[in-house]
């Protein structure tokens, strides 16, 4: 520790005032750069790590799992489900993240082998979450998705509670009116975020940051195929040449590699990067756990069944049903038209032709006017330029219904969902209502007894189909034909 001071030898000046001044300067420099010097001299010392990160000195029986959610809501939900699976397999408490803003954090493309490194994406998520807190827009995933069905199979903890325990920082203090409290909390948070994201490397028994991603890894569980086998999807030669890389994708058992007996198992916190996975060229891109390959009667089978469909919280479901009962009050058709976003801009024709066909069929068998609930990103003022304008004009044949953020029902639901988290009652952070419109609209569509016409390829449409299949709306509120 004293190396710097001991090797320093004054050569020319022996004036005692100059000496002590110089000594002070050296001492000052040493003090300012202490962190850098100590990590340079003792790169893997647990002593320096635990003095830097007090949370690593605390022994915890409970073990946690963190990951980096990203992209749009549907993507965040599918990652959340994978996280529940991983937490159950590894017997770790899942740290439940908030809902991130649409595409505030993006992963990149797994098939193109161009993705953010796990450390980078974890840090981006961390920074965004801190923004959500300070802007009063934090809404836990658990306030949107009902976790009661999996509560007996996996432990969870709110991200804010975890941060207050592990980082020793109350997230509300970042909005403190006392600027020194605010500064010190932000400083501690920054350190903790950097640790959790894996920038200090893996810290013995404290943090294991998984630093592999879909470019090189496919996680499996209890597959008969050998752990460590090559995956069937690999970068092709053309891509390798063009991008000058040589990734090889291996399949590995998540339990064998990160569970009991592994180094990762010893750490209090296990941090994944993205947990996004999807089917591509006959292979799953990152996580390939197949329910059919699991032994029967396994606890995991029951969990699989439950995470396949996870409903919205009762507040949202009730709001959707209330709108159906009070505002529509008759059998209706629902259409979800995604017209302005990305790939959907060029698909107006097929989207409307499917709707038109369906409307013609319904027209024959129902009394008039026909009620249609419309959820679309196309502003009302633009409807006249498309089929929606035609429907809206024929008021004797059709009655169109829409929901908007301004609707009292939507505001009331947002207030319930965004109600203060018990730890933040005395927060100085501003408080904003969360955006719940999409979730209420999806619920309304799941109640449409005359049928549903969605936009092909939209994850929103997929979720509505899933809700309909699982009879979210079936009970006294459903209005039959
Ligand atoms: C799972 O972890 C808890 C601690 O959080 C521990 O008490 C329990 O024994 C573990 N279960 C198994 C099967 O290892
Ligand atoms: C919607 O209408 C506005 C003006 O009324 C127009 O500028 C805009 O291009 C329209 N958008 C679409 C997608 O038709
Ligand atoms: C609907 O009616 C309005 C006037 O009421 C008219 O300007 C518009 O062109 C009509 N749109 C269609 C698609 O018929």
Which atom of ligand 3 lies nearest, measured to the CA of 389?
A: 13
Atom of ligand 1 at shortest range from CA of 91: 1
The pLDDT value recorded for residue 34 is 46
- Predicted confidence at residue 445, as pLDDT, reads 98
Of the residues 88, 91, 165, 268, which should be mutated to test ligand 1's pocket, given the most ligand atoms within 8 Å of the CB?
91
What mean pLDDT do residues 461-481 have?
A: 78
Alpha carbon of 259 to ligand 1 centroid (Å): 12
Asked if pLDDT for residue 289 goes beyond 70, the answer is yes
Q: What percent of the chain has pLDDT over 70?
A: 86
- The answer to whether the CB of 382 is under 6 A from ligand 2 is yes
Spatial distance between the Cα atoms of 351 and 457, rounded to a whole number of angstroms: 11
Give residue 240's pLDDT.
86
Selected residue with higher pLDDT from 158 and 343: 158
Average per-residue pLDDT in the chain?
87
Q: What is the pLDDT of residue 296?
A: 74
At residue 39 the predicted structure's pLDDT band, cuts being 50, 70 and 90, is: very low
Please say whether the beta carbons of 479 and 331 come within 8 A: yes
Protein residue with its CA nearest to atom 1 in ligand 3:
393
Q: At CA 138, angle to CA 137 and CA 144, rounded to 5?
A: 110
Q: Give the angle subtended at the CA of 273 by the CAs of 213 and 112, to the nearest 5°.
A: 40
Identify the bridge partners of residue 376 per DSSP, sorted by sequence position: 337
pLDDT of residue 41: 43
Supply the pLDDT for residue 90. Answer: 96
Range of lowest pLDDT (4-18, 195-209, 225-239): 4-18
Point out the ligand 2 atom lying closest to the alpha carbon of residue 385: 14
Q: What is the percent of the chain with per-residue pLDDT over 90, rounded to a whole number?
A: 66
Just give the CATH number of 314-469. Answer: 3.40.50.11350
Residue list, ligand 1 pocket, CB within 6 Å: 61-62, 91
Q: Do the bridges between strand 283-284 and strand 287-288 make them parallel or antiparallel, or are there none, so unpaired? A: unpaired
Give the pLDDT band (50/70/90) at residue 122.
Answer: very high
Structure tokens at 61: 């029986």
Predicted pLDDT at 428: 80
Give 434 Cα–ligand 2 centroid separation in angstroms.
28
Find the mean pLDDT for residues 93-100. Answer: 98
Q: 3-class secondary structure for the chain? A: CCHHHHCCCCCCCCCHHHHHHHHHHHHHHHHHCHHHHHHHHCCCCHHHHHHHCHHHHCCCCCCEEECCCCCCHHHHHHHHHHHHHHHHHCCCEEEECECCCCCCCCCEECCCCEECCHHHHHHHHHHHHHHHHHCCCCCEHHHCECCCCCCCCCCEEEHHHHHHHHCCCCHHHHHCCCHHHHHHHHHHHHHHHHHHHCCCCCECCCEEECCCCCCCEEEECCCCCCCCCECCCCCCHHHHHHHCCCCCCEEEEHHHHHCCCCCHHHCCEEECCCCCCCEECCEECCEECCHHHCCCCCHHHHHHHHHHCCCECHHHHHHHHHHHHHHHCCCEEEEEECCCCHHHHHHHHHHHHHHHHHHHHHHHHCCCCEEEEEEECCCHHHHHHCHHHHHHHCCCCEEEECCCCCCHHHHHHHHHHCCCCHHHCCCCCCCCCCCCHHHHHHHHHHCCCCEEECCCCCHHHHHHHHHHHCCCCCCCCCCCC
Q: What is the pLDDT of residue 40?
A: 44
In the chain, domain spans? 3-57, 64-308, 314-469
Ligand nearest to the Cα of 390, by number: 3
How much is the average pLDDT of 314-339? 97
- Asked whether 307 and 103 are in contact (CB, 8 A), the reply is no
Q: Please say whether the beta carbons of 464 and 336 come within 8 A.
A: yes
Least confident of 16-25, 120-129, 221-230: 16-25
Q: What is residue 432's predicted lDDT score, i.e. its pLDDT?
A: 87
Q: According to the model, what pLDDT value does residue 324 have?
A: 97
Whole-number Å distance between alpha carbons of 476 and 442: 19
The alpha carbon of 401 and the centre of ligand 2 are apart by a number of angstroms equal to 21
Angle at the Cα of 305 from the Cα atoms of 299 and 307, rounded to 5 degrees: 100
pLDDT band at 255 (very low <50, low <70, confident <90, very high): very high
CA pair distance 299, 304, nearest whole angstrom: 9
Compute, in angstroms, the gap from residue 209 CA to the centroid of ligand 1. 21
Q: Dump pLDDT digits (tens) for 339-356.
A: 998 888 889 999 999 999
At what angle are helices 459-469 and 437-446 packed, to 10 degrees?
50
pTM score: 0.85
Q: Are 411 and 382 in contact (CB under 8 A)?
A: no
> What would the mean pLDDT of 111-133 be, rounded to a whole number?
95
**CB of 385 closer than 6 angstroms to any ligand 2 atom:** yes
Give 257 Cα–ligand 1 centroid separation in angstroms.
18
Edge-to-edge, what's the strand order for the sheet holding 370-376?
398-401, 370-376, 332-337, 451-453
pLDDT in tens, 394-433: 999 999 999 999 999 999 999 999 886 655 566 788 888 8
Average of per-residue pLDDT across 437-459: 96
The average pLDDT across 241-264 equals 92
């Amino acid at each position: 520790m004293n190396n710097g001071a001991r090797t320093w030898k004054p050569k020319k000046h022996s004036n005692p005032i100059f000496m002590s001044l110089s000594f002070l300067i050296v001492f000052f420099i040493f003090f300012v750069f202490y962190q850098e010097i100590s990590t340079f001299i003792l790169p893997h010392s647990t002593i320096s790590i635990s003095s830097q990160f007090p949370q690593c000195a605390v022994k915890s029986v409970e073990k946690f799992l963190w990951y980096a959610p990203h992209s749009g809501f549907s993507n965040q939900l599918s990652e959340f489900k994978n996280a529940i699976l991983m937490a159950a397999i590894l017997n770790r408490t899942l740290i439940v993240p908030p809902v991130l803003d649409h595409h505030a954090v993006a992963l990149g493309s797994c098939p193109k082998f161009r993705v953010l490194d796990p450390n980078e994406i974890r840090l981006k998520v961390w920074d965004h979450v801190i923004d959500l807190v300070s802007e009063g827009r934090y809404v836990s995933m658990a306030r949107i998705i009902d976790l009661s069905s999996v509560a007996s199979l996996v432990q969870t903890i709110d991200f804010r509670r975890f941060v207050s325990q592990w980082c020793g920082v109350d997230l509300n203090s970042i909005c403190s009116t006392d600027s020194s409290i605010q500064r010190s909390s932000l400083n501690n948070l920054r350190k903790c975020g950097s640790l959790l994201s894996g920038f200090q490397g893996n810290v013995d028994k404290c943090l294991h940051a998984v630093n592999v991603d879909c470019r090189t890894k496919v996680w499996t569980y209890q597959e008969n195929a050998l752990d460590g086998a090559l995956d069937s999807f690999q970068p092709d030669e053309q891509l390798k040449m063009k991008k000058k890389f040589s990734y090889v994708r291996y399949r590995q058992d998540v339990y064998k590699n990160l569970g009991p007996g592994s180094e990762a198992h010893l750490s209090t916190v296990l941090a994944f990067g993205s947990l996004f996975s999807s089917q591509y060229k006959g292979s799953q891109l990152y996580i390939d756990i197949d329910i059919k390959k699991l032994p029967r009667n396994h606890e995991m089978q029951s969990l699989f069944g439950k995470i396949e469909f996870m409903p919205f919280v009762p507040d949202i479901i009730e709001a959707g049903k209330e709108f159906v009962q009070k505002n529509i009050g008759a059998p209706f058709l629902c259409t979800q038209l995604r017209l302005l976003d990305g790939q959907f801009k060029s698909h107006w024709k097929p989207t409307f032709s499917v709707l038109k066909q369906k409307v013609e069929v319904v027209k024959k068998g129902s009394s008039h006017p026909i009620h249609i609930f419309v959820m679309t990103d196309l502003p009302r003022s633009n409807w006249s330029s498309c089929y929606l304008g035609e429907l809206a004009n024929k008021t004797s044949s059709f009655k169109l219904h829409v929901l908007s953020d301004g609707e009292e029902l939507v505001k009331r639901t947002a207030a319930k969902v965004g109600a203060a988290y018990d730890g933040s009652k005395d927060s100085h952070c501003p408080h904003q209502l969360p955006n719940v419109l999409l979730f209420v609209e999806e619920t309304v569509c799941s109640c449409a007894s005359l049928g549903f016409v969605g936009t092909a390829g939209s994850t929103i449409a997929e979720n509505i189909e899933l809700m309909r299949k699982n009879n979210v709306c079936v009970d006294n509120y459903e209005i039959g034909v």
